[in-house]
Each structure stands twice: as C-alpha cells, then as structure tokens.
A = this chain, B = another copy of it.
Amino acid sequence: MSETKKRSAKRDLITAAAARVFAERGYAQARMADVAAELGMRAGSLYYYFDSKEGLLAAAVEDRVALAVAELESIVASDDPVEAKVRRAIEAHLLVFDEHAALYGMFQTEHLDGIVPDLARAVDERGRAYESLWVGLIEEGIRSGELRPRIDPWVTMKAIVGLCNSTLFWFESDGGMSPELLAGRFADLVLGGVMA
C-alpha cells in the first residue's frame, strides 16, 4: 500500500513533468530523455511507470480534463443572473488554464488525433460537453431577456471560448496581471463591448 502510494506519487511527478515538456517543445519534438532529465532520471526508467510515450501523454491528459466541465456545470446550475454566471465562467476558464497551462496548451497545439486517436476522441467529447453548457447558458440569457435576442448562441459561444482559449498563447500570471483581473476585462468586453 505504501509502495503503491509511492509509485502513484512518482507517476504524478512524471505526468506533470511530461505535461510541461510536451507543452514547451511540442509532443513530437519532445524526447523521452527530455522528460526524464526534468526529473533527474534516464529515459529507460520511465518505462517502469508507463508503457509508452503515448501512454505517458494519455496519462498526463486523462485525469485533468474533467475539471473544467464540472466547474462550468456547477456555475450554470447556480441561481445567479446570467451576467454573473458569464463572469464567473470566464474567470473559471482562465483560472483553470492558468493552473494547467501546459496541459491545455497541448490540446490546442498538438495534432493529437494523429498520435493518440482514442484520447483525442475522449478529449473532444469533453470539449463538446463544455461547449454545450455555454450554449445553454447563452440561450438561457436570451430567453430571460438578459442577453440580446438577435445573437447567435453557437457563434457567441465559439467567440467566448475562443477568446478564453487564446490566452494560452500569451498570458502568464506572473507577468503582472492576475487571471482574475484579465477575466474581468474579458467579461466587460463580452458583455458590454468596447463602444462608448
């Protein structure tokens, strides 16, 4: 049991390192030796914990995908007005990204379907679920009169999610601005636009 725990802890260390390395250099450019070096180990040793590079990628990704969906689910289900929900959802999105930037970066930048098709499919499904929740939220706002009746819920969702996702390519929370503040600005833009 203690052995098992130690092994599991080490696995976590490795997946974390892998997520970092994969995100930084790209999955294809990253070598197993790079991941191992990050941990002061040798490439061969990783195979004591994982079957393959793809397996390592899968493990690095698998557990953490569910988080964002669950969070958004609870936000949507709450009794807040839609405006508040949108604000909270955007903030939640950026906070998750901020914490797991390396991980989510891989979803955007890697051609995972050519590498780990099963995993890619699973991730895709999660993504669709996430998008559905957003669409539902927007439709709720339109129905309740809080959002403009003429906006296209699906396009709007794509815009908001795309906007949030794009932070992966440039935002670093240690760069002066907090993710919460950035989320506020984004929400302002999305809700009220820039026109005077």
Give A contacts to B, CB under 8 Å: 24-26, 28-29, 83, 86, 108-111, 114-115, 138, 141, 145-149, 151-152, 155-156, 158-159, 161-163, 165-167, 169-170, 177, 182, 185-186, 188-196
**A26 close to B110 (CB less than 8 A):** yes
Question: Whole-angstrom distance from the CB of A5 to the nearest CB of chain B?
Answer: 20
What is the oligomeric copy number? 4
Q: Chain B contacts of A163 at CB under 8 A? A: 159, 162-163, 166
**Contact call A158/B146, Cβ cutoff below 8 A:** no
Contacts of A166 in B (CB 8 A): 158-159, 161-163, 165-166
A109's contact among B111, B146, B148, by CB below 8 Å, is which?
B111
> A189 with B188: in contact, given A25-B114, A108-B108 (CB under 8 Å)?
no
